[in-house]
Every structure is written in C-alpha cells, then in structure tokens.
Structure 1
Amino acid sequence: MIKDLNVKVGPQFYRYSEGAIDIVPELLQEHAASRILIVHGDISWEKARPFLTKVMNLDKEIIYEQYHGECSYNESYRIEDIINKNKIDFVIGVGGGKLSDLVTYASHLTNTQFGLIPTLASNCAPWAPLSVMYKDNGLAEGKTEHVKRQAAFLITDPALVIDSPVNYFIAGIADTLAKWYESDLILEQEEFSNESFPQMARFAARMCKEKILTESEKAIADMQAGTISEEFIRISEIIFAIAGLVGGLGDKYARNTAAHAVHDAISAYLPAVHKYLHGEKVAYGIFYQLALEKKWSTIDELIPFYETLHLPKSLTEMGVYPMSESTLKNIVQLIDGKQKVHLLPLPINEETLTTALIDLEKYINQ
C-alpha cells in the first residue's frame, strides 16, 4: 500500500451549465461570506460581468481587484495584503489559469475560503490545489506551490467559456492530453495495479486522451462557430475538471512528469518561448517525454493531430533550437532537479535527458 498518497479530489461544489453562476450567492451564504474580494482579469472580466449580476448585487461588502497578469510571489503577496487589510473572508477568482493559481495561493497564505469562476478552458488550474509560479516578467520560477485547501466551488457557464480565445482552448486540449502520457509509465507498474485511487486516476487520464483525440476537432470547430455543442461542453469540462481529477486522485504519481518538467525548464531559460501558451509548450513536452521513453511510433501517430491543431512538435519549430551548450545544460539540469521526473521507471540523468532533447529535434526535422 502506498503510504504517502495525498488524495485531494476537487472543489467542494462543481457545476458547469447554462445559468450555473446564478447559484454563487447561495454558496456564499453557505460559507457565511460577508466581506468578499473578487480578483479578476481585464478583457475576461468585461465578458464575465453580465454573468455575475446576482453576485454583484448582493447586500455584502464586495471589493474588486484586477490582477497584474502573472501568478508570481510578489503578486500573491499583494493580494494577501489586500485580503488582510480589508478583513476579507471569501475570495472569488474570475479569469484564466494564472488567476486561478494566484487566488488559490493567496487564499492559502491567508487561510481564506475561495471559489473560482473560470472564463476559459485552457488548463486544470481551477480544479487542482496547486499554483504554478512565474516571475513578474512572465518567465517560469520553476516552482509549484502545492496546498492542502481546495476551492469551495468551481462554477462556470459554457456561454461564457465559448466566448474566449480559441488558441487558449487548443492549448488546454494539449495540456490535458499530457495527463495520459505523463502518468502512463508510472501507473502501469505492478505496484499500482491494486491501488484504488491511482487506478481511478488512470481511468480518468485514459478518458482525457480518448475524448481529446476523437472529439477535439469538432469541439474547436463548434467553438469557432459559437455553437455550444455536446462536444464543446465535454472537451472544455475535461480540460478544467477531469484533467484536475487525475492529479487529485493519483497525487504525484499521476500529476505530471517530463512533459511539464521540460515546460518549466524552457520557460525559465528561453525567453523567446514566452509567446507560447502553457499548453502549447506542454504539447512539445509530450513529444519530449515520448522521446525520453523512445516511443517514436507514438510520436508518429500523434503528428497528424498536432499538425491539425498547429501545436509545436519541436524546439526548432518554436525558433529556439539550436541553442548554446550552456543553455542546454541549464535546461537539462533544471529537468533533472525535479523529483517528479525521477518517478518514471527509466534511467533519468543529465545524459539521457540531453539525448532525448537532441534526438527529438533530429527526428522531427528529418
């Protein structure tokens, strides 16, 4: 039996349907919220406001604060200060993944209840009890803050989500696809075969992969047409909910490994990749992980899907390869320094990590 498994299933309350946001006042009452801070984005906030009429008209003290665009330590401490100075007892985050991460971490720092209303489907940040940290300039810190507290609620409306940028949706599709490839080698091992929660995580990860590969193209086309179809609802829900459930059930054994580790490394040492979204960099990371596992045939199978969605397959395509020996070494050392990579049942060291990166560039460019 695994003794260090931390199961954090998900938000206390979840709903994703037309008009769902109207239930937020009832939930705030359930949590005895009286002084509320709403942390929001910029453009996304203008789109979200019409959905929040019942919340904004509550007879409660509500403070509105626009965040500065990054989930950084400095920004977290700024929000922490606002919470403390105003004696806030409930925080609501309205926006994308970085904002969700920011609210999660700031609420952790202040021991404050919080709820999340995602305005797009680009990752599982609203579901997962962790925050991926960035520097104020957008470069990755290479550090993730894991917390024990889950959101009091995750609620949103497909009519709000469908009006978000399609490139974020595609990035979310790639980020979700990684759930299977990053956990596959770990959870297929005999030691996990009779572990109930990791096996549930494996089932959820498989669902993510199968639905992503079979329904994404239809969901993207429907989003572009503004059609709230079953496929759009299913794929967006898989992105911000089921994908988070994978890590929630399987903990570190099903959260992320090489694909996200290389994302962190290139984000830290290659400023030119900052223009790519998180999920786009993770898409490259999936291929990197498969190269590390020497699963070239799986890469071949995924290439048509990547090309249809215009996802980057290599660092060359991203315009950052070749690179200097010192930069390559820094990237590899950061990957090697992450404990999660060493959960893979493979020889993981600087040599194998370097070989995988170089071999992938050769393979894609041949």
Structure 2
Amino acid sequence: MLDDLKVKVGPEFYRYHIGAIDFVPDVLTEYTAKNILIVHGTVSWEKAQPKLSFLQDSRYTLSYHQYTGECSYYGADKIVEMVKEKKIDFIIGVGGGKLVDLVGYAAHVANVNFGVIPTLASNCAPWTPLSVMYKESGESEGKTEHYLRQASFFITDPELVIDSPVEYFIAGLADTLAKWYESDSILKQEHLQNEPFLQMASYTSQLCKDAITSNSTKAIADMKKLEVSEEFVHLSEIIFAVSGLVGGLGDKYARNAAAHAMHDAMSKYIAESHHFLHGEKVAYGIFYQLAIEKKWETIDQLLPLYQQLNLPTSLHQMGIFPKDEMILEQIVQFIDSKEKVHLIPVPITKDLLLNSIFELEKYINKI
C-alpha cells in the first residue's frame, strides 16, 4: 500500500471535436463566470479567434493579455496583477504548452478558476497539474506543482489544432512516447505491481506507445494535408490528453524519470539547446534513460522511428555536446538530485549518469 500517491486525473470537463469550442459558455455558466481574462499568444491567437464565438457574447466582460512567450514567474505575476486589478473571476488560456502552463500556475496563485483552449498538440501541458517554469531568457527554472487545482475545462477543435506547425506535433509524439519508456521499468517492480492506479497508469502508457508506433506516419501525412482524419484526431488526443492521464494516475511513479530530467538539465545548462523543442530534447532523453538501463536493443528498435520522425539521438547529432567538462558535471549533479531518477530500478550513481552520456554518444556514432 502506498501512502504517497496523489491522484489528479485531469481537467474537470473535456471535449475535442469539430465545433467543440461552442460549448465553452455552457461551462462558464456552471462557474457563474462574468469577468474573464483571456491569455493568448500571437500567431495561434490570430488563427483561433474565428472559432471563439463566445468572445462576442454580451454576458461577459472580457480583458486580454498577450504573454511573453515563456512560462515564467515574471509572466505569472503579470497575470495575477491583472486578476486583482480587474477583479477577474475566470481565466481562459488560448495557445500552446507554455501558455497553458503559465495560466495554470497563475490561476493557482491568484486562486481563480481557469480553462484552456489548446491550439497545438505538442505535449500534455493542458492536462497536467504542474507547470514547467523558465526564465524569460529560456533557461529552465524547474517545475511548480499545483495538484489541488486543475483546469475547469479543456476544450478545443481539431480544425484549429491541425493548422499548427508539424514539427510541434512530432515533438509531441516524442514527449508522449517517453511516458512508456520512463515508467515501464519503475512500474514493473514487485512492490508496485498490485497498485490499481499504477496498473491503470501502465496500461495508459502502453496505449500511448502503441498508438504512436502504429499511426504516426498516417497522422503526420494527414496533418501536412490539413486533413482532419481519425488518425490525426486520435494521436493529437493521445498527446495532449491521454498521455496526461499516465502521470495523473501514477503520480511520481509514472509522471517522468531520466528522460525528462535530462531535458531539464539541458535546458538549464546548455544554452544552445533552447532552439530545440521540448519533445525533441525529451526524445534524446529517452535514449539517455535507455543507456542508463543498458537497454541497447530497445534503442535499436526505436531507431527507425526516430529516423522517420527526424528526432535527435545524441548530443553530437544535435550539435550541442558541451566542450566544457564542468557543464557535464553540472548536468549529472542536477539529474542525480531528482528523486524520480532514483525510482528507476538500477543503482543510480553519478558515475553511471556521466558514463551513460559518453556510452550513448559512442553507441550512436557506431550505427
């Protein structure tokens, strides 16, 4: 029996289909929301507005805030100030992963309800009760967990999501694939085998992996044609909703491990990594975790998919292998400090973490 498991399944209300955004007012009525702050970006905001008919609804007093492009404490403070100044009773975030992370954290600080209208499928940020924080410069600042508050609604339209950069969708597939490879060996440990919520987390992570390995090619091709096919709808739903269930059900045992720890370390200590998407860095992180576990055959099995999706396999391939050994030491120190990494059922040491970086580079270079 676990006494440290926190289950937060997801947003209170979810809809994802053509025309779904028309139901936003129904949820706002449930919360008697009248004075609403819309937090948005730039390009995605322009594309989203034609589908946001509630913006013309006279029942609401609307205020607007364009975020800086980063999910930062500075950006959250700006939103909290607006909430107080304008007496906002509900926040709606329209945009990508960093924006919805920002809105979730700011709503937590301001103690108001919020909803999200994601405009792309690049990660499970709209679903999860945590925010990945960055400085305005793009440097990682860790995570904030606000698991006692989650979105009042998650509503979006595949016609909006499909009209977003394909590379973000591919990065989302990689980020979602990590759900299985980070949690599988942890959840297979004997003392966790009979925990019902962890069993559901495991089943859900396998569902994510199987869907991605089976349908990625078709979904990507359809997205490029702006064709809202069943494969595209299902895989985008897997990325931003179903994958969020893995951590929602399994908490720290299934949320993430070394792959995401490596992502965070790269974002913190390798400035050149900032131009890579979250999911691209996580893709490399998957191989890094497999190197820690010495699962070289699994890397071999994944390589064709990585090559097909043009995902990074090594730091040298990304062109960002640190020349300064001190940076590698900082990365290892950072990864070793994360409890989630020590849940992996191998003896984690700093030597293992460092040697795995070099072993992976050498292994990929030989292929």
1:19 and 2:25 aligned: no
User: Hey, what's the Cα distance between the residues in 2 that align with 1:362 and 1:262?
Assistant: 18
In structure 1, the residue matched to 2:104 is: 104
For 1:92, the aligned partner's letter is I
User: Hey, what's the Cα distance between the residues in 1 that align with 2:197 and 2:18?
Assistant: 31
In structure 1, the residue matched to 2:281 is: 281
User: Hey, what's the Cα distance between the residues in 2 that align with 1:56 and 1:25?
Assistant: 11
Shift of 1:331: 0.6
Whether the 8 Å CA contact 1:108–1:147 is kept in 2: the answer is no
1:363 and 2:363 aligned: yes
In structure 1, the residue matched to 2:60 is: 60
For 2:272, the aligned partner's letter is A
User: Hey, what's the Cα distance between the residues in 2 that align with 1:345 and 1:288?
Assistant: 15
Shift of 1:322: 4.8
Whether the 8 Å CA contact 1:141–1:268 is kept in 2: the answer is yes
For 1:181, the aligned partner's letter is Y
Whether the 8 Å CA contact 2:105–2:144 is kept in 1: the answer is no
TM-score, scaled to structure 1: 0.99
Aligned-pair identity in percent equals 62
Q: 3-state DSSP class of the match of 1:316?
A: helix
For 2:54, the aligned partner's letter is K
Shift of 1:146: 3.8
Cα shift readout 1:334-362 (whole Å, capped 9, x = no counterpart): 11111111111111121110011110000
For 2:41, the aligned partner's letter is G
TM-score, scaled to structure 2: 0.98
1:176 and 2:176 aligned: yes
Q: Between Structure 1 and Structure 2, how many residues are aligned?
A: 366
Q: 3-state DSSP class of the match of 2:8?
A: coil
1:250 and 2:250 aligned: yes
For 1:267, the aligned partner's letter is S
Whether the 8 Å CA contact 1:142–1:265 is kept in 2: the answer is no
In structure 2, the residue matched to 1:147 is: 147
Q: 3-state DSSP class of the match of 1:123?
A: coil
User: Hey, what's the Cα distance between the residues in 2 that align with 1:326 and 1:233?
Assistant: 44
Cα shift readout 1:138-166 (whole Å, capped 9, x = no counterpart): 11113343432110000000000000000
- Report 1:125-136 matches (<5 A): 125-136=125-136
In structure 1, the residue matched to 2:229 is: 229
In structure 2, the residue matched to 1:37 is: 37
User: Hey, what's the Cα distance between the residues in 1 that align with 2:176 and 2:325?
Assistant: 32
Q: 3-state DSSP class of the match of 2:115?
A: strand
User: Hey, what's the Cα distance between the residues in 1 that align with 2:323 and 2:121?
Assistant: 33
In structure 2, the residue matched to 1:325 is: 325
Structure 1: tracts of 5 or more residues without a match: none
User: Hey, what's the Cα distance between the residues in 1 that align with 2:206 and 2:173?
Assistant: 14
Structure 2: tracts of 5 or more residues without a match: none
For 2:328, the aligned partner's letter is L
Whether the 8 Å CA contact 1:336–1:349 is kept in 2: the answer is yes
In structure 1, the residue matched to 2:6 is: 6
For 1:226, the aligned partner's letter is L
User: Hey, what's the Cα distance between the residues in 1 that align with 2:7 and 2:226?
Assistant: 37
In structure 1, the residue matched to 2:91 is: 91
Root-mean-square deviation (CA, aligned residues, Å) is 0.9
Q: 3-state DSSP class of the match of 1:317?
A: helix
Shift of 1:264: 0.3
In structure 2, the residue matched to 1:49 is: 49
Whether the 8 Å CA contact 2:8–2:249 is kept in 1: the answer is yes
Shift of 1:100: 0.5
Whether the 8 Å CA contact 1:93–1:99 is kept in 2: the answer is yes
1:204 and 2:204 aligned: yes
User: Hey, what's the Cα distance between the residues in 2 that align with 1:111 and 1:68?
Assistant: 22
In structure 1, the residue matched to 2:260 is: 260
Shift of 1:327: 0.6
Q: 3-state DSSP class of the match of 1:128?
A: coil
